[in-house]
């Protein structure tokens, strides 16, 4: 190959278009990789049980009907409800308590407050396998084992470290004079929180709530450990059971996967900006 004259011969404009062509090629290949599983789910979820076959996974569905969606929705509907009943209270509670904690830890530091915070934050990073067995015993003792309220409790407690961190970082950027002024004016700690700081933190609240909603909706481990009864389980566990059940056609499984993904996917596409802020706030510590 004669590389030398070739590179000399290519004009700057041509070289730019080579770079651009390469960029587009790589991006389109990547697009194929990222969309392929979504295509598999949509394509096969839309097929009828009669024409879904492993040998034709990549073929398009012949006619457009409901495919496996109706049956998947019927099978997963109770678990969808369980997920909603779990995720809504768990998200609101863990965000609210996290907001209070973050406010106290940034604006009303007592001696040892920073150490207390680090001690709490560590809870976010433990592999939950380390606490499962005692947690089950504890939930059995307080009679919440196998129930959705038990699951909510677990999600709230293990969500606190990260919600506290996110709000503490947010409130650290809010001028302390605001708190001092309110107090001089006669407002107590809690009044300042509910009247001034909480309304002020709405943008952060949205970010934290989306972060928590996504995490809790997508959880599998706590659900499968805390709730053994299939009819009381959240949707992620039901989806896994569906997928492992050989009497269920896999067009139904694919449709079910899409249904289980729908709420977080909607949040992602509708509120993407907050989603990314949560991702960055939840991962860049300190």
Partner 1 sequence: MSSSALTGSQAQRAATVLVPRRRSWLPERTQSFLLLLPSFVAIAIFVYVFIAMTLYVSISNWRTLKMDLSLGQPPYATYLSMFAQPRFQADLRNTLVFTILFMGLAVLIGLALAILLDRNLRGRAVFRNIFLFPYALSFVVTGVAWRWIFNPETGINLFFNILGINPLLSQFGLEPLKPGWTTDPTVWLQVNKVLAAVWPPAAGLRVQLGIPAAIIPVAIAAVWQLSGFVMAMYTGGMATISDEVRQAARIDGATEGEIYRHIIIPMLKPVTISIVVLLLHTSLKIFDLVFTMAGPGPGFATDVPAIFVFEQTFRATRYNLGSAAAIFMLVLSGLVIVPYLRHSLKEG
Of 97-116, binders to partner 1 (CB under 8 A) are 97, 100-101, 104-105, 108-111, 113, 116
Q: How far is the CB of 120 from partner 1 (least distance, A)?
A: 5
Q: Which of 63, 186, 229, 231 binds partner 1 (CB under 8 A)?
A: 186
Report the site for partner 1 in 191-220 (rule: CB under 8 A): 195-196, 199-200, 202, 214, 217-220
x/- letters, 60..99, toward partner 1 (CB under 8 A): -------------------------------------x--
**Interaction residues for partner 1, span 221-260 (CB under 8 A):** 221, 225, 236-237, 239-240, 243, 250, 253-254, 256-257, 260
Compute how many residues bind partner 1; rule: CB under 8 A.
103
268 is a contact residue toward partner 1 (CB under 8 A): yes
Contact with partner 1 (CB under 8 A): which of 5, 12, 134, 173? 134
**Rounded to the nearest whole angstrom, what is the least distance from the CB of residue 5 to partner 1 in the complex?**
20
- Rounded least distance, CB 9 to partner 1, Å: 18
Name which position in 41, 93, 162, 209 contacts partner 1 (CB under 8 A). Answer: 41
Least distance to partner 1 from the beta carbon of 286, Å?
3
Nearest to 260, CA basis, from 72, 87, 47: 72
Q: Is 272 in the site for partner 1 (CB under 8 A)?
A: yes
Structural tokens at position 228:
């053994």
Residue 170 CB partners (closer than 8 Å, separation 6+): 102, 201, 204
Q: Check binding of 138 to partner 1 (CB under 8 A).
A: yes
């Amino acid at each position: 190959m004669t590389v030398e004259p070739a590179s000399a011969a290519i004009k700057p404009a041509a070289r730019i278009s080579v770079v651009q062509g390469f960029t587009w090629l790589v991006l389109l290949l990547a697009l194929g990789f990222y969309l392929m599983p979504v295509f598999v789910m949509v394509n096969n979820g839309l097929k009828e049980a009669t024409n879904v076959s492993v040998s034709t996974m990549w073929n398009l569905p012949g006619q457009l009907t409901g495919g496996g969606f109706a049956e998947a929705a019927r099978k997963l509907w109770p678990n969808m409800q369980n997920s909603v009943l779990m995720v809504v209270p768990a998200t609101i509670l863990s965000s609210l308590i996290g907001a209070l904690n973050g406010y106290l830890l940034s604006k009303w530091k007592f001696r040892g407050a920073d150490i207390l915070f680090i001690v709490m934050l560590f809870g976010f990073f433990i592999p939950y396998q380390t606490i499962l067995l005692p947690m089950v015993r504890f939930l059995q003792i307080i009679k919440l084992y196998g129930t959705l309220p038990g699951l909510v409790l677990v999600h709230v407690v293990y969500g606190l470290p990260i919600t506290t961190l996110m709000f503490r970082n947010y409130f650290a950027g809010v001028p302390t004079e605001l708190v001092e002024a309110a107090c001089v004016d006669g407002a107590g700690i809690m009044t300042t929180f509910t009247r001034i700081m909480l309304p002020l933190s709405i943008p952060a609240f949205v970010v934290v709530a989306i972060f928590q909603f996504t995490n809790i909706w997508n959880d599998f481990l706590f659900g499968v450990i805390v709730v053994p009864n299939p009819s009381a389980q959240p949707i992620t566990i039901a989806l896994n059971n569906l997928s492992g059940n050989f009497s269920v056609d896999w067009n139904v499984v694919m449709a079910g996967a899409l249904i289980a993904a729908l709420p977080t996917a909607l949040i992602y596409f509708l509120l993407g900006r907050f989603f990314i802020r949560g991702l960055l706030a939840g991962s860049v510590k300190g």
